[in-house]
Amino acid sequence: MTFEELTIGLPAPKPLMLADAALFLDLDGTLAPIASRPQDVRPEPRRTRLVEKLTRAMDGRLAVISGRTLADVDRILEGRVVAVAAVHGLVRREPDGTVHEADPHPALPAAAQRFRDFASRDSGLIVEEKGLSVALHYRLARSHAGPARLLAEEIAAGTGLTLQHGDMVEELRTPGPTKGDSVGDFLGQAPFAAAKPIFIGDDATDEHGFEAVAAAGGLGILVGPPRPTAARFRLASVEQVLTWLEAAL
């Protein structure tokens, strides 16, 4: 049986038991629906109440692991989550509030300019600069997907920037920690240590997280359509994720 055959028909997870679990949650496509433009994702009362209640019920064993900046995570979740890994792990805020941040790669400004030059050909192309990475979104200009990928691959090959293919986005980031590394760092300290880790995410960038929790005896939950993945379970949508989490409270 092939890897794809083993991973494509994943079951839904069993009901969540909070007592011994640690939750690592992606944001876009997991806790919040993906928007056409990154800035269109805004705070939502149901989501804010949920992460607040879960954090309290789990004695702080909840972290958000996102490709967004730390400021953006705090904006969308209204500052309710302290433990956050942002920009795919390049920025990490510990449970005590201490922030660790990588140094930006020197090639990022030039890469961002090349993305901006490319984006000038279509108003649906959006360049998102995150300090430690730069992303080219083409959800509103899908005909440019192929050229966007080729451009990102060319820049990565010439600069040493790390290329991440995402959902309708190409991102060039400073080399460094991944989402999986962030999970490992959190699991090495209170209040996450000795808990069973659960990582929930939707994108290819979340695979490192799925692999990290599996290595620690936990499990990954893929959100969205079936695809080859290191996750063991699947929920079909953001709505299903929220409902599954709410049922544990």
Residues catalogued as catalytic: 26
Q: In whole angstroms, what is the distance from residue 53 CA to residue 171 CA?
A: 33
- Tokens 């620690």 label which residue? 216
Within 10 A of 222 (CB to CB), how many other CB atoms are there?
27
- The C-alpha atoms of residue 136 and residue 129 are separated, in whole angstroms, by 9
- Residue 42 burial by CB count (10 A; 0-12/13-18/19+): exposed, middle or buried? exposed
Alpha carbon distances (Å) from 45 to 2, 6, 51, 56, 79: 43, 38, 10, 17, 13
**Which uninterrupted H or E stretch holds 48?**
helix 45-57
CA torsion, ordered 160, 166, 170, 173, to nearest 10 deg: -30
Q: Beta-strand (E) ranges in the chain?
A: 21-25, 62-65, 84-86, 91-93, 99-101, 126-129, 133-137, 162-166, 169-173, 196-201, 219-223, 233-235
